[in-house]
Structure 1
Amino acid sequence: MRKIKYKKGRKVQPTLLEYTGVHKQIKTELQLFVYDTNDLTEYNEFRTEQLQKCFDSSKVNWLNVHGINDIETIKSIGDFLTVDNFMLSDILNTTKRTKLEEYHDVLFFNIKSLLPIENSDNINMEQISFLLKNGILVSFQEKRSDFFAHIRERIRTHSGIVRDKKADYLLYLLLDAVMENFYITIESEEDRVEDLINLSKSNTNPEILIQIEKHRDNFNFLKRSIIPLRDSLYSIKSMKDDNVFNAVEHDNYSFFARLHQKSLELLEQVEYDMTTLDSASNFYFSSQNHKMNEVIKTLTVVSVFFMPLTFIVGIYGMNFDVMPELRWRYGYFMIMSFMFFLLIGMILYFKKKKWF
């Protein structure tokens, strides 16, 4: 999980174009789909010099960008769409929280894609941003991934209604694909937490508590990522009665309402899992306390067993001249026998009372 770090005293202009992510060595690659119900044109290894020539305003245009460390390429796309620099700055600044913004005729949406790292308790985060304007959708990914592979295949094979819809429906599909990663991440966390809970029932190693707290941090991180996503999706729902901004068709608002409902389900699941983690922590501490109580109980019982024996030994350890038992031939054997039967009697009594 990559934590957001803020440098104290750093002053950055809102319109400054600076990539703040970690994938600075990745080559920027572009892919363009231009399609409608009857036609599809796919451009691989697309270049920004082809923007004017290849875009078709009568069709849906989807430009997907892999790698956003090339500032000039991002600037060229922004100039073509006449997007203000502050939006481009938000695309390049991966420390920004998920948000939705509408400015003039442009809809900007960025989202955090979270996936578990294999053989690790950490979570990988990638920022994905979208620009929607007049039938043109541009998606920006920090690195190449297969989040949208199934959507590309649906476009190529004309599967479903994606080719019959506009760019706003495509945005819904892309957002839905990214949100699926949240389910994968939560499921992975739940499996690991379940293993921890089962382990805590048979092992009181302090390392278990450290792992529980680690996964609690992961769920908190998930929660912080989902809440702004929920708010942004609600804002899209709220645009339904806005007659000024028409980036989303009236009939497609129901799709974004589904995404909003998904975000609520994700939040509820995270809250439930955090409660489960609290139960795991409580169970761990209860096990520790129970183990300690059992040890103290055992030590107490042993101490009680030897208290009367110590008392007898203390009496016969006094240096008095007149102690008849000391001169009796069988005194030692009688006292030892008495101490033995006294100990046996106390053990039986404690057993009957179920004190151990």
Structure 2
Amino acid sequence: MLNLIRRGASASTSETPGEDWVLPADAIWIDLLNPTREEELAVERVLGVDLPTREEMAQIEPSSRLYQEDKATFLTATLLARSQDDHPTSAPATFVLARGVLVTIRYEDFKAFTVFTVRAAESPDLTNGAEVMLELLDAIVERLAYVLEAGSAAVQESSHAIFDRPHGGAFEPLLTGLARTQSVVAMARTSLVSLGRLASFAGLAPEIAAASASRAHLTSVQHDIGSLTEHAGSLASQIAFLLDAALGLINIEQNGIIKFFSVVSVALMPPTLVASIYGMNFHHMPELSWRFGYPMALVLMVIAGVGPFLWFKKKRWL
């Protein structure tokens, strides 16, 4: 799909380029979402650049992700996608600044792109591709900030649930929720680190380097990325602490259960010994013919059971 935003336009338009397709003179943003090979070739022809393939976008080497070629600047970052789903993921997105136009190539429908498309179409202040890219980076950073804030709220809720939960409460839902939050935060931090590298290299683009306002905007974006990266690291540490605390509480409860059964087993051993002795039915056992033998055996078993229990209480093992 090829979406086009023009300077001063009130909405984005979907294009179906053919062999004779010409880029409008007032175009400032070409957004390629799951593009076909025909769409890629049409954009390459009108801009005179070689767009990276999906496989090239997935490479992690800086030289493959951040470079300048044919008077164009190519920037690729790994972004968080589907953060609200049960299985969030990360996917690459490429930004190309060429001939005053921004070209974005992506194979995931990122939420930040959807929100910014509406915002960009209603903003008459955007005049070139560099401004669009900086505003789009702002939208991506805002989205990551929202994801981290949601993660922070989930961590606080999990913290209260772990330390204020009733004795014997289920830990499985808490651990599952924390594990999902940890996954989202880790991918968000990866996105922020990738965006930080992208923003550093973006300053070399002629469209940004020649405009003081764009340089200042890019610096602001870099500061936001840095602060959010620190926040994501702090959040990851807090999640790790809560996971350790939850596992520690599980171990304490299990140890308490095992200790209880151990004490019960030890306390029942002497009465069991007494009952076993008097249950052997030997012919020559004086107590078998004694009138008070049965009550004596019962009292002996009670004393043998209560004695160890009182000893455990005295030693504070219970």
TM-score, normalising length: structure 1 = 0.69
Which residue of structure 2 aligns with residue 139 of structure 1?
Answer: 104
**Cα distance, 1:345 vs. partner?**
4.7
Root-mean-square deviation (CA, aligned residues, Å) is 3.5
**Cα distance, 1:220 vs. partner?**
3.4
| 2:193 counterpart of 1:227 | yes
User: Is the alpha carbon distance of 1:265 and 1:179 closer, same or farther for their aligned partners in structure 2, counting shifts above 3 Å?
Assistant: same
Which residue of structure 2 aligns with residue 282 of structure 1?
Answer: 244
Paired residues of 1:110 and 1:129 also in contact (CA < 8 A): yes
| 2:207 counterpart of 1:247 | yes
Map Cα deviations across residues 113-156 of structure 1 (whole Å, 9 max, x no partner): 424454x322255544332234333334545833332233222x
Which residue of structure 2 aligns with residue 89 of structure 1?
Answer: 52
User: Is the alpha carbon distance of 1:140 and 1:275 closer, same or farther for their aligned partners in structure 2, counting shifts above 3 Å?
Assistant: same
User: Is the alpha carbon distance of 1:72 and 1:224 closer, same or farther for their aligned partners in structure 2, counting shifts above 3 Å?
Assistant: same
**Cα distance, 1:106 vs. partner?**
1.3
Secondary structure at the aligned position of 1:231 is classed as helix
More off after superposition, 219-228 vs 314-323: 314-323
Which residue of structure 2 aligns with residue 158 of structure 1?
Answer: none
Which residue of structure 2 aligns with residue 4 of structure 1?
Answer: none
Distance in 1 separating the partners of 2:75 and 2:29: 15
Which residue of structure 1 aligns with residue 7 of structure 2?
Answer: 34
**Cα distance, 1:255 vs. partner?**
1.6
Residues 8-47 of structure 1: matches in 2 within 5 Å? 28-35=1-8, 44-46=13-15
**Cα distance, 1:62 vs. partner?**
0.9
Residues 311-322 of structure 1: matches in 2 within 5 Å? 311-317=273-279
Which residue of structure 1 aligns with residue 25 of structure 2?
Answer: 55
In structure 1, runs of 5+ residues without a counterpart are: 1-27, 156-161, 240-244
Map Cα deviations across residues 3-61 of structure 1 (whole Å, 9 max, x no partner): xxxxxxxxxxxxxxxxxxxxxxxxx24323225xxxx6877345655636x315xxxx4
2:227 to 265, 268, 280: 265
More helix by share: 2
Distance in 1 separating the partners of 2:132 and 2:177: 40
| 2:166 counterpart of 1:203 | no
In structure 2, runs of 5+ residues without a counterpart are: none
Give % identity: 21
Distance in 2 separating the partners of 1:106 and 1:91: 18
User: Is the alpha carbon distance of 1:122 and 1:333 closer, same or farther for their aligned partners in structure 2, counting shifts above 3 Å?
Assistant: same
Distance in 2 separating the partners of 1:198 and 1:94: 42
Paired residues of 2:77 and 2:92 also in contact (CA < 8 A): yes
Distance in 1 separating the partners of 2:178 and 2:242: 8
User: Is the alpha carbon distance of 1:68 and 1:51 closer, same or farther for their aligned partners in structure 2, counting shifts above 3 Å?
Assistant: farther
**Cα distance, 1:70 vs. partner?**
2.6
Residues 96-111 of structure 1: matches in 2 within 5 Å? 96-97=59-60, 99-111=65-77
Q: Which amino acid aligns with 1:172?
A: L
1:152 to 96, 114, 121: 121
Paired residues of 2:199 and 2:218 also in contact (CA < 8 A): yes
Distance in 2 separating the partners of 1:41 and 1:210: 44
Which residue of structure 2 aligns with residue 21 of structure 1?
Answer: none
Secondary structure at the aligned position of 2:7 is classed as strand
**Cα distance, 1:91 vs. partner?**
6.5
Q: Which amino acid aligns with 1:247?
A: E
Distance in 2 separating the partners of 1:313 and 1:137: 89
TM-score, normalising length: structure 2 = 0.76
**Cα distance, 1:173 vs. partner?**
0.8
